[in-house]
Amino acid sequence: MLKYGIQGPDAVFAFGFLLILSGTRICLSPEYIILFLPLFVIGFLGGSLMIIESNSKFRERLRDFSLKRRDPKNNQKVLDVGTGRGLFAIELAHKGCSAYGIDIWSNQDLLGNSLGKVKKNMKRDGIEVDFRYGDIREIPFVDDFFDSVVCSYLVHNIHKPSEMRMAIKELGRVTKDGSKVLLADINPFLGPGWTKSVWKNELEKENFKDVEFNNFLLTSVIFTYVSKKEKKSEGFIGKSSCD
């Protein structure tokens, strides 16, 4: 069920604590039900939504919905930014792409998040993905390296607008002219606090075109592509931690 880990474990535990605390108070002191019932409902609904988001079947449906729209081609170089435990990267490899995945593998973002865990998922599926340490604000590849980029459940962790602009610039830098880019998150507008119009404006500043917003159940998905006039050499910069 949780092959890809629990998303936002701190939030899940907080909602669980709120649920237990308010439920206990209601049972021990029924006269306070008006005060604690809203907290109980918040804890129950919040925790339930986080568990649903972490369910492997839900994530696989989101992935399939997203990739169907992007239609990755055989042998294309595709980067999964914030790969976590390999949800997108492993499936891209199954589709015949040259799949890459980068992450900082923080357990605050995803329970059981580690390079070792994602490699275990990769080996279980019998495919090869090039997993490396890397941050979306400083992607360790040179310009125009990828044919497509996907980024899921990462945007909400970037709260400073200046850092989000750095991330957008990096996504544009490492992708080729005409490359398709996908951003998916439980709510990408919660990260830097941008509205759809601001997102569209910031993406277009970095030569992203035809910015399209979609919803898949609890997740917001942004589809766009990169338009460039020049291309540069390909290659990898930085130390690989794949071995």
Domain that holds residue 136: 56-226
Residues 78 and 41 in one domain: no
Q: Are residues 43 and 69 in the same domain?
A: no
Task: Give a yes or no: residue 221 inside a domain.
Answer: yes
128 and 43 together in one domain: no
In a domain, 62, yes or no: yes
What CATH number does the domain containing 199 carry?
3.40.50.150
- Does residue 116 sit in the same domain as residue 40? no
Domain identity same for 47 and 96: no
Question: Does a structural domain hold residue 61?
Answer: yes
Same domain, yes or no, for 48 and 70? no
Per-residue pLDDT tens over the stretch 104-132:
987 766 667 789 988 998 999 999 999 99
Helix (H, G, I), strand (E, B) or coil at 119: helix
Distance (Å, whole) CA 87 – CA 104: 15
Give the pLDDT confidence score for residue 189 in this predicted structure: 64
Type of residue numbered 11: A
Beta pairing partners, 226: 208
Same domain, 164 and 92: yes
Would you give per-residue pLDDT tens digits along the chain (243 residues)? 445 555 545 555 565 556 676 667 667 777 666 766 666 566 555 555 555 554 455 566 667 777 776 677 788 999 999 998 888 899 899 989 999 999 998 776 666 778 998 899 899 999 999 999 999 999 999 999 999 999 988 888 888 999 999 999 999 999 999 999 999 887 656 677 788 899 999 999 999 999 999 887 667 888 899 998 644 444 555 554 444
In DSSP notation, 193-220 reads: ---HHHHHHHHHHTTEEEEEEEEETTEE
| Residue 3 lies inside a defined structural domain of this protein | no
Residue 105 lies in a domain: yes
| Burial class of 172 by CB neighbour count within 10 A (0 to 12, 13 to 18, 19+) | buried
Any domain includes 175: yes
